[in-house]
Structure 1
């Protein structure tokens, strides 16, 4: 027998915290530490560094897409259950999740192919390097990182609070309102 729960599933609530935290760690480790340090290693040439970088960032992009899909599944699950029980700060969680997923799509569909064509030119010897597209990628990573931080903070603030503490708000006439708690 299948029954509907009146509480948001704990796994989905936990994923809204864990997925962005893991994703931030990936960004720090690869974009913030590995990528810049790779070119300072002895014996690493620009073509060799670009070849390594392409593989590393391709693998990172696959992991990011998987994290994005998992985040979307958790968000859809929470949204479905949000109809039965209001979750604190759910509108902000939806907004930050949507921004993170949109930035991921832009990075994957627009910026990475541009970078790939540029690195192809460098590796093929038709370009000396230096691309403004890298600045767009860095900007996208910074935006994504800030949004993920905000998502983690919002998840800690709202989703990890006991869901039974969210009670329907009463209107002036004594009827229950379906509004969620005020977001700060």
Structure 2
């Protein structure tokens, strides 16, 4: 077997499952657990969340780039049976989060931190839905690439 192929395949698979773990740990645990800690106000939790999710988005963009490059390098990952369509779906969801949801949520967080009272919003539900779609898509892509 070609060493480049092995390293590319390993990078694709490990990067995919690291990404899944990061999303699950932060979006499905940290994001709501922080509000259970004593002394955490809504404003403080919003500030922490903004910082954490902003950084997570940057790391996700890096992981997406690494996975794309590694998949391309292995030559197998862009075949239909490799689940590349799952990766494309994940990248579309990530783009929606990066270009649409996060900027709006950041703006709302800024207003909230300035003491502005805001009407209820479904943005967090949309974001969580996107996170679920990413985890499903990444899981399918990762599993297809293990075989």
**TM-score for the superposition, normalised by structure 2:** 0.90
Normalized per residue, which structure has more helix?
Answer: 2
**Unpaired stretches in structure 2, ≥5 consecutive residues:** none
Distance 2:32 2:122 in 1: 16
Does residue 31 (structure 1) correspond to residue 43 (structure 2)? The answer is no
Distance 1:40 1:153 in 2: 34
Distance 1:37 1:141 in 2: 17
Aligned length: 146
Distance 1:70 1:96 in 2: 16
Q: Offset at 1:7?
A: 8.6
Distance 1:32 1:76 in 2: 31
Distance 1:149 1:42 in 2: 35
Alignment of 1:1-16 (within 5 A): 9-16=5-12
Please point out which of 74, 79, 95 is paired with 1:90: 79
Asked which structure has the greater RCO (Cα within 8 Å, sep 6+), the reply is 2
Q: 2:55 — aligned with what?
A: 59
Q: Offset at 1:14?
A: 1.2
Q: Does the residue aligned with 1:9 lie in a helix, a strand or coil?
A: helix
Q: Offset at 1:131?
A: 2.1
Q: Kindly tell me: are residues 53 and 117 of structure 1, through their superposed partners in 2, closer, same or farther at Cα, counting changes over 3 Å?
A: same
**Unpaired stretches in structure 1, ≥5 consecutive residues:** 158-184
**Bigger shift: 93-102 or 47-56?**
93-102
Q: Does the residue aligned with 1:43 lie in a helix, a strand or coil?
A: coil
**TM-score for the superposition, normalised by structure 1:** 0.73
Moved over 4 A (4+): 5-8
Q: Kindly tell me: are residues 75 and 124 of structure 1, through their superposed partners in 2, closer, same or farther at Cα, counting changes over 3 Å?
A: same
Q: Offset at 1:130?
A: 3.7
Q: Does the residue aligned with 1:95 lie in a helix, a strand or coil?
A: helix
Q: Does the residue aligned with 2:36 lie in a helix, a strand or coil?
A: coil
User: Is this contact kept in 2: 1:71–1:97, CA < 8 A?
Assistant: no
Q: 2:125 — aligned with what?
A: 135
Distance 1:48 1:32 in 2: 19
- Give me the CA root mean square deviation: 2.1
